[in-house]
Structures are given as C-alpha cells and as structure tokens.
Amino acid sequence: MPATSPEIQSFPMTGTSLLAKPSSFPEEEEESKSTVSLLKSKSSSVLSATGRSSSTVVVLSILLLTTCASLIAAFAFAFLFFSSSTSSSSSAVKNRSAFRSVTTLPHPVVLLISSDGFRFGYQYKTDTPNIHRLINNGTEAAPGLIPVFPTLTFPNHYSIVTGLYPPYHGIINNYFVDPVDGDTFSMSSHEPKWWLGEPMWETVVNHGLQAATFFWPGSEVKKGAWDCAPEYCQMYNESVSFDQRVDTILSYFDHPEDSSKLPSFLTLYFEDPDEEGHKVGPDDVMITEAVANIDRLIGRIIDGLEERNVFQDVHVILVGDHGMVGTCDKKLITLSDLSPWIEIPNSWIQSTTPVLSIRPITPSPDPADVVFKMNKALESGKIDNGAHLKMYLKEDLPKRLHYADSYRIPPIVGILDEGYTVEKLKSTGRECGGAHGYDNRFFSMRTVFFGHGPRFQRGLKIPSFENVEIYNLIADILGIQGAPNNGSSQFAERALLPK
Ligand SMILES: [Zn+2]
C-alpha cells in the first residue's frame, strides 16, 4: 500500500518503549572498574614515592612488573573468553564488536525465525540447550515479548515485520469482512489491498538488497518491489517438513562470500507449538514435546551455520507471535443467554473468541445502544460468567490496545477475561483446549524474543517490549532506513551494540 494511504498518514507515532537502558554485567564490569582504580591508586603511590630511596624504587619496579603481567593476563583471558562461542551468560561487554575484527559475510544478515504460539516460559519446559545457547550468548526480552492486540497469528506476524499496530497495517484479525466493499479477508488472502504498510522484505529490496522468505504471513503478497520470486519466496504449504524448511534456508549460506546470492533478510516459520496448544492447552506433555522439537530445529540451524563458518556473523532472531492459555467449558459465555435484554443476530457477529467483534447490519440499531444493553445483561448476575466479558464501542477501548483507528474494525468489540470463551449458542461438552487473542496485558499471551549475533550483547536481558519495535531493530542491523512505523526510533540504539 502506498504511503499515501490515509490510514498510514494518520497513524500516531506513539510507539511506547518500555525499554530501560540495557544493564550490562555487573560482576565483570565492576571487576574491571575496580582493577582500573586499583591500578590508578598504585600509580599515584608510585609517583609520590619517586626519589625517596633506592629500596622504594625496587619495590616500585616489582609493582609495575606485576601490574603489567596482570594486564597482559587480563587481556589474554578476555580474548579467550570472548572468542569462545559457548561462554556463559556473564560474558558481555558493551563493545563486544571490538573483538570481532574478522567477518565472513559481505554484508549484515538477519535470520528471523517464528515459532508460532511459543509462550514465554516454554523455554523452561524441558532441556532446550540450543535455544539456551542463543539466550546465554545473546539478548533476551525478559519477561518475554509483548504481542499486539488482538494477540492472534496474522495481526502479530505482520506487526513484527512492519512495525505497525494492526489498525495501520490493516490485518485487524485473522478473518474479517471489509465493511465498504463486503470482501472477506482470510488467512489465504494475498491481494495487496489488504496488506498495508511496508513489510521488511519490501524495505530490503527497495534498498537494492535481497530478501528470502520461507513462510511468513504476508510474504506471498506481491507489493511494491517485492515480487515473491520463486527462488526467494515460498508459497505457504504446511505439509513442507520443518527440517526441509531449515535446510532450504541454510542453502542460502552455501556461498556466503557471494553477496549477490546471499539474502540480507530471511524469514523462517514453524507452526508449532501453537497447533498443540490449541488442542491441549499450554500444560500438556504434547507442548513439552513440541518445544523440544523446536529446540532440535534451532540446533540444526546453528549446526548448519557453523558448518558454513558463519554462525557468529549471522543475526539469528527467534520470536513467537503470542502465547497460549488453557480454556474449558466452565469458562464459557453464551450470547443466546442475553436474549431477554437483546437479540444478537448471527449476521452481526464477525468473530467470537477471544475477540468478540460485532457489526450491526442495516437497518441497524445504534451501536452504543447495543453495547449498553449487552453490558446491562452481562452485569445483571443472571448470565453464566457474564462478569468476564465487557462490551465496548471500539473508540472507548483502552488506548493501550491501539485497536480503534481502522474502518475495518467493527464498531463493537468485546474483551474477555483470560481463558474465557464466548459462543453464540450453548454447545455440548468439549475437552479443554487452549486459545490466544486475549488482551495483551496478560502474561499468558506473552511470547519470546531471543537475538544472537554480532550486534546482540551476550547474556543481556532487556525489559519486555512490544513487537512493533522489531522492524526498526532489523533495519538498524541491516543499515537501511525503515518506513515510518509505530516503533520508537531510539529502541535499536538501546537494544543493540554499536556498529
Ligand atoms: Zn499464532
């Protein structure tokens, strides 16, 4: 969508950065500072003592020699420490890049990997040595990465690659109807008209660089200079094995010295552990197995990059799009129960759980009246679980949700409490499962951000941030100017090591 889109022009550049100045590693930095002050105090003693006696000179000479030996040992230790790829989490310094004078790549490269529904904390479900290699030697958002609202797959994946909140990139739900032309968006809609903003693969090719996508929502859409050429862009096909996806991505690094063939930006997508999460909720052994498999795949990527001698030079970013929470029948709200107060025809309902979206159809009552009557019913104490759903006119939603400023968003939106579901009619019993899409303030909706590579400080934890910051971060690593977006301009500077 061109920059002339009124939606893009009108979006507020108010990306909130929750990021505090990254703290680096107290032990090591404090230790080196105290060493310096010790040396200084020794030096001043030396100066004041000069000329007093020859025995003092001998003592001073010994002190100086000891100091030099200590310095040499310290530098040798530091060199060994930072050249090791398996060093512990306490091994960061702010200018680590100074230790990396040799690069095997002709230009910066970012490999952005998404593990769908990887809730923050899943990395501790079982042994995840490969994911922890990224964490311990890289930078992690703790506690977790904050998704955008609604915490659904398509809105979030597209926010990650555009830096825009859903009203501004246009993908306001996984499924919705355009109220103007009546067309329906679904997860297989590839017409450019739906996909506003400028995704990173388009930004990259606009700068004369190459991008490669092995699945990502929106990547098949031909927009601007991005033509989704077959050698660089895979059409979504869930039957392609995860291993095959990894091996294809690795093949781009077969000739890393050839800058014309090596993409600057690559995406890789895994459906897991979201699939299992929906079936069984976040606490089942199936999730543990899926997480172990994602870890195995990360290991395959690391091994493949190491075999090609480029692992230390590639910026590997592993993220998820949202978390997952358990849902059960006892946490169900049924819209037909509201009928003594108001009838909600099926034709008004665009989505139910966890984002209840209602667009009254002509001849329609006033949306404010619908909201009033629904809330009156829900607050009456006579609706099962009614207290766990609250209806809003979209303009009255909490501002922090950034979910109003698009004609595509229906005028009435219901916000559910964590783990609750809403249905049109009472259904018969079901097994418990899992869902996401809820308010992004819930920790259960949080996902992960792990960054590893030359610009990521080793072992650094940065406070949780919203995923709209990632676009600017990648643009900074690649050294290109990103399109206008909702991320904050200072984020990359704070989260990354200097160039
Ligand atoms: Zn998802």
| Residue 320 structure tokens | 């998820």
Ligand 1 mean position to 156 CA, how many Å?
8
Tell me how crowded residue 22 is: count the other CB atoms within 10 A of its CB: 17
Residues in the chain: 499
Q: Find the 289 Cα to ligand 1 centroid distance in Å.
A: 18
- The structural architecture, per CATH, of the domain 109-324+440-495 is 3-Layer(aba) Sandwich (3.40)
More confident of the two residues 455 and 23: 455
CA of 71 from ligand 1 middle (Å) equals 51
Dist. CA 463 → ligand 1 center (Å): 22
Whether pLDDT at 12 is above 50: no
113 has which bridge partners? 268, 318
- Can you give the pLDDT at residue 425? 87
- Complete DSSP assignment for 380-401: SS-STTGGGEEEEEGGGS-GGG
**In sequence order, what are the beta bridge partners of 112?**
267, 317
Our answer to whether residue 153 is catalytic in this structure is yes
Query: 98-143: per-residue pLDDT in tens?
Result: 344 447 899 999 999 999 999 999 999 999 999 999 999 999 999 9
229: DSSP letter:
-
Q: What is the pLDDT confidence band of residue 430, given thresholds at 50, 70 and 90?
A: low
CATH fold label, 332-431: Gyrase A; domain 2 (3.30.1360)
pLDDT for 162:
98
Task: Report pLDDT for 428.
Answer: 64
Q: Which of 270, 215, 217, 241 is nearest to 448 (CA)?
A: 270
Among 294, 289, 285, residue whose Cα is nearest residue 319:
294
Q: Which of 163-167, 351-355, 426-430 has the lowest mean pLDDT?
A: 426-430
Residue 288 Cα to ligand 1 middle (Å): 17
**Is there a contact between 117 and 125 (Cβ–Cβ < 8 Å)?**
no
Q: Please tell me the distance between residue 310's alpha carbon and the centre of ligand 1 in angstroms.
A: 30
Burial class (CB in 10 A: 0-12, 13-18, 19+), 327: buried
Which has more pLDDT, 40 or 174? 174
Closest CA to 395 of 377, 368, 431: 368
In three-state secondary structure terms, 376 is: helix
Q: Who has greater pLDDT, 368 or 261?
A: 368
Do the beta carbons of residue 220 and residue 173 sit within 8 Å?
Answer: no
Cα(447)–Cα(436) distance, integer angstroms: 11
The alpha carbon of 35 and the centre of ligand 1 are apart by a number of angstroms equal to 49
pTM: 0.79
Chain centroid to Cα 421, Å, comes to 25
Ligand 1 centroid – CA 114 distance (Å): 9
How far CA 360 is from CA of 299, 343, 367, 371, in Å, comes to 50, 11, 7, 11
What residues does each domain of the chain span? Answer: 109-324+440-495, 332-431
- From 153, 162, 203, 267, the catalytic residue: 153
CA of 33 to the centre of ligand 1 (A): 45
* Separation of CA 116 and ligand 1 centre (Å): 5
How far is the centre of ligand 1, averaged over its atoms, from the C-alpha of 255 (Å)? Answer: 33
For residue 21, what pLDDT band results from cuts at 50, 70 and 90?
Answer: very low
pLDDT digits (tens, 9 = 90+) for 432-486: 899 999 999 999 999 999 999 999 999 999 999 999 999 999 999 999 999 999 9
Q: Which position has the token pair 């609604």? A: 150
**Chain-centroid distance, C-alpha 43:** 49
